[in-house]
């Protein structure tokens, strides 16, 4: 699946008049990712710190990280797409250099999700950055 870029997501979200429409867009994005098979949802792939269950798997190919994610909550699936649009198919340096705080500010996201969802989002970002730092 071809994910939209972080720039495309910012542009798309700016098109909507209110957050109810933006939430629906984020949910629809989440429905587009295939998720992980039940066999792939192993305990070592769970991202700790998320309110919902979130699994993160990855491989590297030609020096770039390719992530696969899944969650048991539809809104979280969409939030995962927002994160993947910034980090998927990027080198470790590109991941570490990407200003995720500026991206989230531009999306105006954290003012519109619950604090526990925000903490979960930060846990996912932290896990991806940890993987990139280990390279």
The 3-state secondary structure of the chain, one letter per residue: CCCCCHHHHHHHHHHCCCHHHHHHHHHHHHHCCCCCCHHHCCHHHECCCCCCCEEEEEEEECCEEEEEEEECCHHHHHHHHHHHHHHCCEEHHHHHHCCHHHHHHHHCCCCCCCHHHHHHHHHHHHHHHHHHHCC
Catalytic, out of 26, 47, 50, 124: 50
| Protein fold of 6-133 | Sufe protein. Chain: A (3.90.1010)
pLDDT reported for residue 3 = 86
Active site residue 53: no
Query: Of 117 and 1, which is predicted with more confidence?
Result: 117
Per-residue pLDDT of 1-55, as tens digits, reads 678 999 999 999 999 989 999 999 999 999 989 889 999 999 999 999 888 999 9
Per-residue pLDDT of 55-75, as tens digits, reads 999 999 999 999 999 999 999
Query: Of 109 and 67, which is predicted with more confidence?
Result: 67
Question: What are the structural domain ranges in the chain?
Answer: 6-133
């Amino acid at each position: 699946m071809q994910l939209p870029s972080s720039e495309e997501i910012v542009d798309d979200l700016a098109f909507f008049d209110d957050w109810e429409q933006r939430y629906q867009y984020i949910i629809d994005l989440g429905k587009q990712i295939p998720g992980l098979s039940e066999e792939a949802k192993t305990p070592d792939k769970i991202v700790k710190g998320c309110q919902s269950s979130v699994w993160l798997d990855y491989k590297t190919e030609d020096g770039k990280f390719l992530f696969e994610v899944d969650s048991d909550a539809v809104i979280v699936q969409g939030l995962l797409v927002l994160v993947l649009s910034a980090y998927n198919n990027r080198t470790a340096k590109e991941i570490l250099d990407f200003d995720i705080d500026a991206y989230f500010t531009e999306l105006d996201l954290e003012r519109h999700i619950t604090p526990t969802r925000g903490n979960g989002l930060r846990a996912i970002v932290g896990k991806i950055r940890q993987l990139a730092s280990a390279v």
